[in-house]
Amino acid sequence: MLLFRLILLFAVAFIAWRLYRMVMAPRMRGPEQPPSLRGEVMVECAFCSVHVPRDQAIVEDSRWFCCEDHRRQHTQGSSGT
Ligand SMILES: [Zn+2]
C-alpha cells in the first residue's frame, strides 16, 4: 500500500500548504498608518493651550490661537497697559 501512503502524504502536504498561506497572507501587508495623522498639522493655542488644525488657527507674532477671541485677549493681556 505504498501508493496509498504517497497520496495521503501529498494530501496532508497540500492542506498544510493551504493553511500556511491562509495564516501568512494577512501578515504580508505592512503596518497601516492611522488616517487621522495624515496631512493634518495641529498647533497649540497660546492662550488656552488647546490643539487646533493649523488651517483653522489664527496666527499673530508667530503665535497660534484657536479663535479670534483668544488672540485678542492674549494680545491685550501681554502688551496692554
Ligand atoms: Zn484658545
Question: In a structure prediction context, what are the per-residue pLDDT tens digits for the chain, which is 81 residues long?
Answer: 789 999 999 999 999 999 999 888 766 566 665 555 556 899 999 999 999 999 999 999 899 999 999 999 998 875 545
CA of 34 to the centre of ligand 1 (A): 26
CB distance 42 to 57 below 8 Å: no
CA of 27 to the centre of ligand 1 (A): 43
Q: What is the pLDDT of residue 30?
A: 60
The three three-digit cell numbers of residue 49, written as one number: 493651550
pTM for the full model? 0.48
Q: What is the 3-state secondary structure (H, E, C) of 17-69?
A: HHHHHHHHHHHHCCCCCCHHHCCCCEEECCCCCCEEEHHHCEEECCEEECCHH
CA of 47 to the centre of ligand 1 (A): 5
The three three-digit cell numbers of residue 33, written as one number: 498608518
Ligand 1 (single-atom ion) residues, CB below 5 Å? 45, 47-48, 66, 70
Query: For the chain, which residues make up each domain, given as ranges?
Result: 2-79
